[in-house]
């Protein structure tokens, strides 16, 4: 989605930047892990297919993605590749109940094992929620999570998402969060969003 191609989002622990071609080799290296592919329900891609996927994330109007950087590493090195720890995505579709509005399916991945358990995923997802609801006509967020992924289930429950569906055959739980004034007030207490112009170096 071209919405965020010139946008950098900064929090306390993480910085979110658009997914660029230069990020692809490290991302591809991450996704060579069968465990990560299983947790994210992703197919194994060749490097060229990964570049094609990056281009589609940039061009397609129904996808929004940011690469998650460790803010401390990025501040010290000014090197996005060295600071990469994961990504966060939204898949956007028209809402069945209010077709003029959208539902955004949210995903977060902290790929680097050393970066897990440090609050990066939580802050990155909060920044994404805040940015998306400010720029898109959203009615609700949802998340589809593997039944055995207890960490992600707890994370989205901490965002006040509620389970609405459990499909054993797909080993998947769907959680939802309507975007209400009360929830937006809560969101504003959770994270400070600093949006800056992003220059593709």
Q: What is the pLDDT of residues 62-75, one digit of tens each?
A: 999 999 999 999 99
Q: Where are the alpha helices (DSSP H) in the chain?
A: 24-30, 34-40, 47-59, 71-77, 80-83, 120-135, 150-158, 181-190
Spatial distance between the Cα atoms of 28 and 61, rounded to a whole number of angstroms: 23
Reported as type and span, the H/E element at residue 196 is strand 194-197
Question: How far, in Å, CA of 199 to CA of 172, rounded?
Answer: 38
Give the Cα separation of 77 and 146 in Å (integer): 35
pLDDT of residue 41: 74
Across 30-34, 141-145, 173-177, least confident range? 30-34
CA 125 – CA 20 distance, rounded (Å): 19
Strand partners of residue 175? 143, 163
Helices (H), 41-116: 47-59, 71-77, 80-83
Element (H, E) at 178: strand 172-178
Question: d(Cα 91, Cα 53) in Å, to the nearest integer?
Answer: 14
The two tokens of residue 59 are 């061009």
Residues 98-114 pLDDT 10s = 888 999 999 999 998 89
Residue 201 has pLDDT above 60, yes or no: no
The 8-class DSSP code of residue 159 comes to T
Confidence bin at 57 (pLDDT 50/70/90): confident
Over 80: is that where the pLDDT of 175 sits?
yes
pTM over 0.95: no
More confident residue, 186 or 112: 186
Going by their DSSP bridges, the two strands 138-146 and 102-110 should be labelled as: parallel
**125 has pLDDT over 70:** yes
- Cα separation, 144 vs 42, whole angstroms: 13
């Amino acid at each position: 989605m071209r919405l965020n191609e010139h946008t950098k989002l900064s929090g306390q622990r993480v910085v979110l930047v658009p997914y660029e071609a230069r990020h692809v080799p490290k991302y591809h290296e991450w996704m060579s892990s069968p465990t990560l592919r299983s947790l994210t329900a992703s197919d194994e891609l060749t490097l060229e297919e990964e570049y094609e996927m990056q281009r589609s994330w940039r061009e397609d109007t129904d996808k929004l993605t940011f690469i998650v950087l460790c803010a401390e590493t990025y501040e010290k090195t000014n090197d996005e590749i060295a600071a990469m720890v994961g990504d966060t995505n939204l898949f956007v579709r028209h809402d069945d109940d209010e077709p003029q509005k959208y539902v955004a399916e949210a995903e977060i991945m902290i790929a680097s094992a050393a970066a897990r358990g440090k609050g990066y995923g939580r802050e990155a997802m909060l920044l994404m929620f805040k940015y998306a609801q400010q720029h898109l006509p959203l009615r609700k967020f949802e998340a589809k999570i593997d039944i055995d992924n207890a960490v992600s289930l707890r994370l989205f429950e901490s965002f006040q998402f509620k389970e609405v569906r459990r499909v054993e055959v797909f080993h998947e739980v769907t959680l939802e969060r309507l975007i209400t004034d009360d929830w937006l007030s809560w969101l504003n207490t959770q994270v400070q969003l600093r949006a800056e112009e992003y220059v593709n170096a």
